[in-house]
Amino acid sequence: MFTGIVEETGQVVSFTRGAKAWSLHLSASLVPSDVKLGDSVAVNGCCLTVVRHDAGHLWFDLLEETVRLTSFAELKPGAAVNLERSLLPQGRMGGHFVSGHIDTLGRVEIFEQRGADHYLKVRAPAGSGRYLIHKGSIAIDGISLTVAEVDGDALAVWLIPHTLAVTNLREKRVGSGVNLEFDLLGKYVEKLIAARLPASA
């Protein structure tokens, strides 16, 4: 479980396809100093398992399906990735409940500076709009953000300068893919309500 509060941005050293899995090699400073083999780390919002680490590097194995359904397919050496270690029981809940299980891939439609802040609009696949609530929470590449606008299957958020400075969003452009995880509580409510509704004829 994560909070969507990014601890640092790491950098892609390599992302290669092996015989059994994809291998993601990252360089970072904070997160590798306090992880163990088998720990979970959110990388661009996706919960991955540490398979190797040293003082300044992390390695992860990724399934083919993970690469296909997320923005990882677009990663290149040197790209910034958002990193967050899993939530400790005594930790502060600064964002919202983020599972690290990506729901879908979104695409940046608008990304521009407006005054001191930046406006980001992301288009999600058809049917996603039911999970979008004005002033609700969403995780974009693992960042806990507040939905400012809902336009069908698209959403918009406002980004303060600090968010751009400490996350990978500073590298995004129109057309960039971003990992989206919708509010976990909303998905549970949908499931519970659906179970109570009579089956359609």
Answer with the residue of higher pLDDT: 114 or 90.
Answer: 114
Sign of CA dihedral 188, 189, 194, 196: positive
Single out the residue of 54, 13, 11, 51 nearest to residue 34, CA to CA.
Answer: 54
Over 80: is that where the pLDDT of 114 sits?
yes
Q: What pLDDT was estimated at residue 79? A: 97
Q: What pLDDT was estimated at residue 138? A: 96
> How far, CA to CA in Å, does 85 sit from each of 21, 34, 100, 116?
22, 9, 11, 30
**In this structure, are residues 82 and 46 in contact, taking their beta carbons and an 8 Å threshold?**
no
**Who's near 86: CB < 8 A, 6+ residues apart?**
1, 2, 39, 40, 41, 42, 47
Q: What CA–CA distance (Å, rounded) separates 86 from 50? A: 12
**Who's near 56: CB < 8 A, 6+ residues apart?**
27, 28, 29, 32
The domain 104-192 having CATH identifier 2.40.30.20: the answer here is: yes
Over 60: is that where the pLDDT of 200 sits?
no
The domain 8-85 having CATH identifier 1.10.3720.10: the answer here is: no
Could you give the residue range(s) of every CATH 2.40.30.20 domain in the chain?
Answer: 8-85, 104-192
Over 50: is that where the pLDDT of 201 sits?
no
Out of 89-103, 110-124, 133-147, least confident range: 89-103
The DSSP element (H or E) to which 194 belongs, if any, is: helix 184-196
Mean pLDDT for all residues in the chain: 93
Q: What pLDDT was estimated at residue 19? A: 87
